[in-house]
Each structure stands twice: as C-alpha cells, then as structure tokens.
Homo-oligomer: A and B are copies of this chain.
Amino acid sequence: MLEQMAGRSKAPESTAAAALGSFGRYAGPATLILSSLAGGSKHGYALTKDVESMAGVRLAPGTLYEALARLEGQGLIEALASEDRRRPYRLTAAGAAALRAHLDAQRQVADEGLRRLDAGLAPT
C-alpha cells in the first residue's frame, strides 16, 4: 500500500522543532544510526543488526558506510581505535544533542499528525 515517502525539514527556529532536517536533507539512516549509538558504541555491522531489530529497517551497506563517513565529518560520531577488523563508533556530545533535538522535533510532528488523524475522522 505504501511504497514511497520521504520526510525531513529545515531548521529555522531555535527550539526543538528547529532540529527537523538537521542531518543531511531529511534525516533517515542518520537518525537510526545515531539512535543505535545512543545505546552504546558499535561498529558498522553490529549497527545494522541493531537498527534492524529496533526499527525493522535493513540499511544497505552503501547507505551505512556513507552515512557513517558523513556523520563523522560532522562531528556527530567519532571512530574509536579499531580492534579486529571492526571500526567501532561512538556518539559525541554534539551528536547526542543533535539527536535529542531531532527526536524531540520528530515526536512533536508525529504527535500532531496522529492527533489530526484521530480528530478528523471525517475528511474535509
């Protein structure tokens, strides 16, 4: 039924709503990656698995590693000393703050949308 959609935003204000669309265009993989890292440092592959169980989303390898590179470049995550062949990443303070702002804004929009859906059971 639903096979295509996208959701992001700009951030003009200073409150939580200002965070929508903060990461890249409309934030997607990045939100999932940061949310996963909020639960502890992980390397890419483990991240994929965690995101999949957390959100039911399978991040393609290209999406994953490109997003990681971007996020690191933005200072939202940082690479840790690689153990084996794994390259673990950690959420930075800036990343945590950005994630919180983004999730707050996202939740507000989701709540408003659901409120409208429940209210307008009659189309206008």
Instruction: Give me the interface of A with B, judged by CB distance under 8 Å.
Output: 1-13, 15, 17-32, 34-35, 38-41, 51, 54-59, 67, 70-71, 74, 76, 90-91, 94, 96-114, 116-117, 119-120, 123-124
Contacts and interface: CB of A to CB of B under 8 A. Distances in A.
Contacts of A117: 38, 96, 99-100, 103
Given A2-B98, A26-B29, A96-B117, A56 B124 contact: no
A116 B6 contact: no
25 contacts: A2-B23, A2-B94, A4-B22, A4-B24, A5-B22, A5-B24, A5-B30, A5-B34, A5-B76, A6-B23, A6-B28, A6-B67, A11-B56, A21-B28, A21-B57, A31-B109, A31-B113, A35-B113, A38-B113, A39-B116, A54-B112, A91-B123, A103-B117, A106-B106, A106-B110
